[in-house]
């Protein structure tokens, strides 16, 4: 397994990204791959990057990393925001999400060496995601923003 910048994917791997499917109950938290790719490709900026997880050279997970102008008001200005983490439903339970979280700090530092931390916001009722993040070193920093039902939790991982 390896994390790779979207820009470094070959054309065939970029085409394969659209095959990533998340479970229906996870779409409300992370969206789907079409919406993530739309966000990535709608703006040409070095402050928004797509990152794919390759397993046997095929993309099986995807996430967006954003900074500066793309940060929400509650985020630290020096942070990199993680959003739209999507692990293909056929690969869930095989360590893909855990691998992404373990490899993410190194990837973030390689993209933006000046960044001090990663941040994310997660729905308080998304217990599976919260458990993953906390088990991989993220720290709950309190309220992020008002979500669909209540405030989302804001988590931080220092780089």
Q: What is the pLDDT of residue 111?
A: 94
Query: What gap in Å lies between CA 115 and CA 20, rounded to an integer?
Result: 29
What are the residue boundaries of the structural domains of the chain, listed by start? Answer: 2-158
Residue 106 has which token pair? 């190194």
> CB-based contacts of 128: which residues, under 8 Å, 6+ apart?
none
Q: Which residue has the tokens 């979500």?
A: 147
Q: How many helices and strands (H and E) does the chain possess?
A: 5, 7
Please give the full DSSP string across 87-109, using - where no structure is assigned: E-GGGTTTTHHHHHHHHHHHHHH
**Tens-digit pLDDT profile for residues 16-50:** 999 999 888 777 777 889 999 999 999 999 999 99
User: Tens digit of pLDDT for each residue in 102-121?
Assistant: 999 999 999 999 999 999 98
Could you give the CA distance from residue 36 to residue 63 in angstroms, rounded to a whole number?
A: 8
Backbone φ and ψ of 93, nearest 5°: 85, 5
User: Average model confidence (pLDDT) for the chain?
Assistant: 90
pLDDT of amino acid 3:
96
Q: CATH for 2-158, among 3.40.50.300, 3.40.630.30, 3.40.920.10, 3.40.30.10? A: 3.40.630.30
């Amino acid at each position: 397994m390896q994390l790779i910048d979207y820009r470094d994917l070959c054309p065939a791997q970029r085409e394969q990204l659209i095959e990533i499917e998340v479970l229906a109950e996870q779409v409300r938290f992370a969206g789907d791959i079409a919406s993530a790719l739309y966000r990535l490709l709608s703006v040409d900026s070095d402050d928004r990057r797509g990152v794919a997880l390759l397993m046997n050279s095929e993309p099986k997970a995807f996430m967006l990393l954003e900074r500066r102008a793309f940060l929400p008001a509650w985020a630290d200005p020096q942070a990199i925001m993680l959003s739209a983490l999507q692990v293909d439903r056929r690969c869930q339970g095989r360590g893909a999400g855990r691998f992404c979280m373990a490899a993410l700090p190194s990837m973030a530092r390689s993209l933006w060496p000046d960044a001090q931390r990663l941040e994310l916001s997660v729905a308080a009722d998304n217990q599976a995601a919260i458990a993953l993040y906390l088990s991989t070193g993220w720290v709950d920093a309190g309220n992020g923003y008002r979500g669909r039902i209540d405030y989302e939790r804001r988590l931080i991982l220092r780089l």
